[in-house]
Amino acid sequence: MKFKLPETTKNWTSLVGATIALVALFIVIFLLFLTLAFDQGGSYLGLLIYILLPAILFAGLLMIPIGMLRKRKQLKDAGVQEFIEKPLPFIDLNNQRHRNAFGIFIVGTVIFLFISAFGSYEAFHYTESVSFCGETCHNVMKPEFVAYQNSPHARVKCAECHVGEGVDWYVRSKLSGLRQVYKVIIDDIPKPIATPIQHLRPARDICEKCHWPQKFYSRTIRTSRHYLRDEENSEWDIDLVMKVGARFDALGLDEGIHWHINPDVKIEYVSTDDKRQDIPWVKYTNLSTGKVEIFESQDDPLEEGELSSLEIRLVDCIDCHNRPAHNYNPPEFFINTAITAGDISIDLPEIKSIATEICSEVYSTTDSALLGIKSGIEEFYSENYPEVIEENNDVLQKAITSIQNQFQKNIFPEMKVRWDAYPINIGHIKSKGCFRCHNDNHISESGKVISRDCNLCHTINSQGPPDNMMTTSINESLVFVHPGDDVEQEDWEESLCSDCHEGNGP
């Protein structure tokens, strides 16, 4: 029996549409087989399988009924009696052509629905994957992706923080993503990309899914190793007791740094800049007693009536932990890390100084930066320490490779991303951080001051060179001594740490 289809199917639009759909379906199945059988994949293959090819498949299927409707109109205009008597599409199962078309439609619909269900499920997981977020727009997202891979949250999927649970935020993120894709296509991406802090989901919806606020630990000991910019790359260590919580676990959030999110206390503030670095107004509310105090900046107070036009923000995790997965260290820090790890030898005279200086320069591309690091360091030692080139060149080359690797993890010239592009609010070294409020400048009407006393957050137990450490007991504190002979005590006491270190100073 000859297989027959309705006359309306005999048109080029439907034929081309069916061909496109079948070819797209075959390619999807073939690529899926390769992915599953050989465990091969990647961000671009996933984009092809779960987004681009299904879109082409759907477009091809859509062309089939469009072509049939156009053909039907042509037959009607040509005076074919059947289409004049019955101007709307109809199904007559007594007609073999209609039965064949109806059967194809039913079978095709079942297959299409099955593929759509599977594809939608896989597409959802693909668009929530780390490779999709970090590698699809490789050049644009490279700084964030590299920093994320070297962060404490490297095992946490991007979507778990940037999207979270719920359909509404998933839809919001994908709609925002469409706008971002359009910006990439027309090459209208700001460099560096601004942190969207005004549009982030509340930290209590995200951070507290893992970080249980009622179970913050009391205090921790932090040991840091630094190297000075002298000829010997002199080591300088410091041990701090960080007052994350109260002295005793039983006191919970009554004391310590995390007091700011004590459920019995509400801290609010307003900022006058997009990065929330300038905070002229802070409000403290004790929810147990109802006591309220407002602290205002004495150097840069709000103008009369200005408060009503600004957002009053409740302090949460992100106000301090503002870059938990995308932090870019300055050369001063990442050179310390490489020396401590043994990748850079301190036997190379002035290596800390010259490495920090060269990595702090502004480069146009990563390639030019890597070349500049190598040539600059080699030239420095050729001119000042030729014996290093002659006797320890292998040690020097290892150091250069390490410096280049650290540079590529923290500085991205193509996107103009480096340590000073994004302020970090944990601490107070690279940017104002704690000193946004704790600067002895915010005073209430009753005369209370938001103190700048370092011992509010940490105490120093030991400091100095390894062979001559100043030490005290764990319950006492030393007065900080700034390393380096060229730094006067009163100089750093009267200024902020970030005044020097934000610009990668000594």
pLDDT of residue 487: 61
CB 292 within 8 A of CB 284: yes
CB 130 within 8 A of CB 157: yes
Q: Starting at the earlier edge strand, list the strands of the sheet with 458-464.
A: 220-227, 235-242, 458-464, 470-471
Q: Choose between 313 and 38: higher pLDDT.
A: 313
Least confident of 119-123, 245-249, 409-413: 119-123
Residue position matching structure tokens 């053909």 = 71
pLDDT of residue 404: 97
pLDDT band at 130 (very low <50, low <70, confident <90, very high): confident
Find the mean pLDDT for residues 481-499.
Answer: 71
Number of Cβ within 10 Å of residue 188's Cβ equals: 8
Find the mean pLDDT for residues 363-378.
Answer: 96
pLDDT of residue 141: 87
pLDDT at 191 over 60: yes
pLDDT of residue 384: 95
Q: Choose between 1 and 458: higher pLDDT.
A: 458
CA separation for the pair 18, 381 (Å, rounded): 69
What string of DSSP letters covers 241-280?
EE-SS-SSGGGTTSSSGGGGG-TTEEEEEE-SSTTS----
Domain boundaries, the chain: 7-127, 131-189, 215-324+424-501, 331-421
pLDDT of residue 344: 96
pLDDT at 475 over 60: yes
CB-based contacts of 380-386 (< 8 A; 24+ apart in sequence): 380/350, 380/354, 381/348, 384/349, 384/350, 385/349, 385/350
pLDDT of residue 505: 46
Angle at 59 between CA 56 and CA 60, to 5 degrees: 90
pLDDT winner (highest mean) among 110-119, 174-183, 403-412: 403-412
Q: What does the pLDDT look like over 69-97, one tens digit per residue?
A: 888 888 877 777 666 666 666 677 777 77
pLDDT band at 506 (very low <50, low <70, confident <90, very high): very low
pLDDT of residue 88: 65
As a whole number, the mean pLDDT across the chain is: 85
In degrees and rounded to multiples of 5, residue 297 shows phi and psi of: -65, 135
pLDDT of residue 39: 65
Q: How far is residue 321 from each of residues 147, 150, 273, 306, 331, measured CA to CA in Å?
A: 15, 16, 18, 28, 21
CB 366 within 8 A of CB 413: yes
pLDDT of residue 35: 72
Q: For residue 136, give both structure tokens.
A: 């699809």
